[in-house]
Amino acid sequence: MLTLFGTRPEAIKLAPVIRGLEAHADAFQTLNVASGQHTDLLYPFVKSLHIRIDRDLHVMSPNQTPNQVCARVMDAMDSILEAERPDLILVQGDTTTALAGALSGFHRKIPVGHVEAGLRSGNPRSPYPEEMNRRMITRLATYHFAATARNRLTLLAEGVEPKQVFVTGNPVVDSLQSMMRQAAPQHPALSELLEATRGMKRIVLTTHRRESFGELMAENLLTLRRFVEAHEEVALIFPVHPNPAVVEAARLALDHHPRIRLVEPLGYQDFIALLSAAWLIVSDSGGVQEEAPTLGKPLLVLRENTERPEALESGVARLVGGSPSALARMLAEAYEDESWASHVMRTENPFGRGDSGERIAEIIAELLDVRVASADLAMSV
Ligand code: UDP
């Protein structure tokens, strides 16, 4: 069993699956491979989630392009696959690492399992390149672990065999719940931040998607600044993604305001503590759309579309679209309408119950047993 990951969300979402696989030590051996697509936004998470790295491909280089990441991961994976000959490669989500892992497996006729399969925004260019990565991984994978019934139907509509699709929930819920159970000491910087904003309505912001870079991001950040300026009990806390385009936009629009705090990206434990203390979340992140329902926090999705409509349908999230004036209007609505927050608090998480890692591991154990009996099933890629 080879599990491949390269970024923060992949580590967060694969950690429970890896734990589940390791609990089946009788059924298979596990080999955890980090691509190193990200470094600062990967290794602290690997550590806090207790993931053992068996191989590190170290592909990260400054200003890397998706083509370079893809080529380097495929090159490095090829020799690992040749030497180790795993029975299954597990990838997660929509990153270039995941795509490269799936294609490497396909080329070597090794079955691929895709965790978080069947998400679609409907627009091949947004999110970019993630939407197309997902579609291509679907074509390459043999087993599809769908978080929701809707994701399953999407896969079936695209011609995936029903017996290859398993609805398991999303293991992000497992990771989030396990972080909330741990009583790890709070980072002093976070305690200071929470103390400084005690009693205020805290907006927690994350934004880093390529489609938002440039004028749109600048305008959205200015809109948030104006909202904070107009409401003296509102504070804005923004763990700034290290991408230079985001750092620069944040500095230009949000610097030098006493109730706006720009901080470094937070570790998972601290970030979850911050989200739990939020009045409102504003984010273009995928994972945060799955976390907000568990935490019972209202969320404005800072994007034109979402491949997670379940968050909108549950009433937890509202889609801003691509217009800063819509953001201004929706901030004002959230401020005036307190019933939204109380509705959100009572909403069940449509993305899972917290047992997805275990369920995926059990299904894989059964599939590999089946494969011993019938080599045809697993190889029917
Ligand atoms: N996250 C974190 N610290 C931060 C910002 C985000 O731990 O400062 C977590 C967040 O809880 C979520 C994940 O990182 O689980 C989302 O990662 P990202 O937004 O990079 O990717 P996406 O989910 O959009 O693919």
Confidence of residue 24 (pLDDT cuts 50, 70, 90): confident
- Judge if 50 and 87 occupy the same domain: yes
User: Which residues are CB-contacts of 355 (< 8 A; sequence separation ≥ 6)?
Assistant: 169, 174
- Judge if 32 and 130 occupy the same domain: yes
- Judge if 195 and 339 occupy the same domain: yes
Q: Which residues are catalytic?
A: 94, 116, 130, 208, 210, 241
CA of residue 358 to ligand 1 center, whole Å: 22
297 within ligand 1 shell (Cβ under 6 A): no
246 within ligand 1 shell (Cβ under 6 A): no
CA of residue 271 to ligand 1 center, whole Å: 9
151 within ligand 1 shell (Cβ under 6 A): no
291 within ligand 1 shell (Cβ under 6 A): yes
Task: Give domain status of residue 37, yes or no.
Answer: yes
Amino acid (1-letter code) at residue 225: R
Mutate to test the pocket of ligand 1, among 37, 116, 206, 351 (most ligand atoms within 8 A of CB): 206
- Judge if 339 and 359 occupy the same domain: no
Number of folded domains that form the chain: 2
* Parent domain of 86: 2-171+354-367
Peptide bond into 129 cis (omega under 30): yes
- Judge if 326 and 363 occupy the same domain: no
- Judge if 247 and 319 occupy the same domain: yes
Rounded CA separation 184/371 (Å): 42
Helices (H), ranges, the chain: 8-22, 43-48, 66-84, 96-107, 130-140, 149-157, 172-181, 188-196, 215-230, 244-254, 268-276, 286-295, 309-313, 324-336, 339-345, 356-373, 375-379
User: Which residues are CB-contacts of 296 (< 8 A; sequence separation ≥ 6)?
Assistant: 344, 345, 346, 347
Task: Judge contact between 310 and 348, C-beta under 8 A.
Answer: no
Task: Give domain status of residue 288, yes or no.
Answer: yes
- Judge if 41 and 158 occupy the same domain: yes
Task: Give domain status of residue 377, yes or no.
Answer: no
- Judge if 45 and 114 occupy the same domain: yes
Entry pTM: 0.94
Task: Give domain status of residue 179, yes or no.
Answer: no
Return the CATH number at 165: 3.40.50.2000
127 within ligand 1 shell (Cβ under 6 A): no
Give the tens place of pLDDT for each residue, 191-242: 999 999 999 999 999 999 988 899 999 999 999 999 999 999 999 999 999 9
- Judge if 231 and 318 occupy the same domain: yes
* pLDDT score at 377: 43
Q: For CA atoms 60, 61, 67, 73, give the dihedral sign.
A: negative
C-alpha distances in Å from residue 306, one per residue of 32, 186, 302, 311, 313:
30, 32, 9, 9, 12
Least confident segment among 289-298, 341-350, 365-374: 365-374
